[in-house]
Amino acid sequence: MNYTLKGLGYSIFFYMFTAVGISLVIEAAVGVSCLDAMNLSISEISKFKIGTLTIFSNFLFIIGDILITRFSNPIKYVLQGISILALGIVINIIIYYIFPHVNINNYSVKLFLYILGTLIAGVSIGAIIKLNFLSFPVENFCLTISEKYKISFVKIRYSIDVIALIASIILSYSFELPFFIREGTIIGMIMFSPIVNFTKDKVKF
């Protein structure tokens, strides 16, 4: 197995493991990330599955990157697309075919699920960053804009989160949906980056 195949295999594996973490966070229902909150709001309105919307939204970032870079790295775009498809499919399987058979009403259990899901997602994304083979489309899109237009990566990334946050709140108000930005969102903001950084620094392949 050469490095390319090894890197691709590990990356797709951790993409799918990330999907497990995201699914646990969603099922906990105590708050999700800004982008996931927007996708959940749209899912409630449109009845599209959340994994399907996760695929769609990430594909938009891939298309944005393609337009800015003028299709300079077709292999990367194809591999990102495959990884995102795996991510969304696993989310749909867990959310719509596994969790409906599980009834969780206790808040402490939900909070545990949320923390476990955040831990799994953080470790998986940290491993993906360490592999440096397939970055997530949203981060890759922000990096492309940052390098091309000399704008801070952090500012671009936060801007996307703010837009998604506002969209989620507006949709919740307009269509009388549950609010997906909750206490778990704050817990995730505190936990997530340290977990990613720790994994990135410690994991070895």
Domain boundaries, the chain: 3-202
Residues contacting residue 46 through CB under 8 Å, at least 6 positions apart: 53
pLDDT-flagged residues of the chain (< 50): 1-2
Residue 134, pLDDT score = 84
Residue 8, pLDDT score = 84
Kindly give the residue spans of alpha helices, DSSP state H, lying in the chain: 3-28, 34-46, 50-69, 74-93, 107-131, 137-149, 153-174, 183-202
Q: How far apart are CA 106 and CA 64, in angstroms?
A: 42
Residue 1, pLDDT score = 40
Q: What is the DSSP letter of 150?
A: T
Name the token pair of 171. 């949709």
Q: Which residue has the tokens 């906990």?
A: 28
Burial 126-141 (b: 16+ CB within 10 A, else e): bbbbbbebbbbbbbbb
Distances (CA, A) of 151 to 62, 64, 129: 19, 16, 21
Name the token pair of 120. 């799994």
